[in-house]
Amino acid sequence: MQDILNDLGQLVLGSVPTMILFLFLVAAYHFILYRPLKRTRAARFDRTQGALERAHAAVAAADSWVDRNRRSAVGGLDKSRNHP
């Protein structure tokens, strides 16, 4: 039992540098790559949302224009039918 505990202790002690290196690499990834990537994605999302909102506004304006012209065209047809 004592041999197993000694071996386990040496294994944990030997893995400490690997754990430290792993934590260092995770922190480096976070600061070097993840934060700038997150900012870039947020900016792209904002630009995309702005473009979508402008597109929806353009579609709504076109729909109202079509409705207005359709009503005036139908009104013009009714007047021309009443006056031969």
**In the predicted model, what is the mean pLDDT of the chain?**
88
Question: What is the token pair recorded at 71?
Answer: 């009503």
In-domain check, residue 56:
yes
The answer to whether residue 43 sits within a structural domain is yes
Give the pLDDT score at 56. Answer: 95
**pLDDT of 7:** 87
Does residue 33 lie within any of the structural domains? yes
- Establish if 15 belongs to a structural domain: no
5 assigned to some structural domain: no
Domain of residue 36 covers 26-84
The 10s digit of each residue's pLDDT in 47-61 is 999 899 999 999 999
- With a cut of 80, say whether residue 18 has pLDDT above it: yes
The pLDDT-based confidence of 12 (bands split at 50, 70, 90) is confident
Top pLDDT among 74 and 65 is at 65
Asked, for residue 16, whether it belongs to a domain, the answer is no
Q: Does some domain include residue 18?
A: no
Q: How far apart are CA 24 and CA 18, in angstroms?
A: 10
Does the structure show a pLDDT above 70 at 84? no
pLDDT of the residue at 19: 94
The total number of structural domains that make up the chain: 1
- What CA–CA distance (Å, rounded) separates 68 from 51? 26
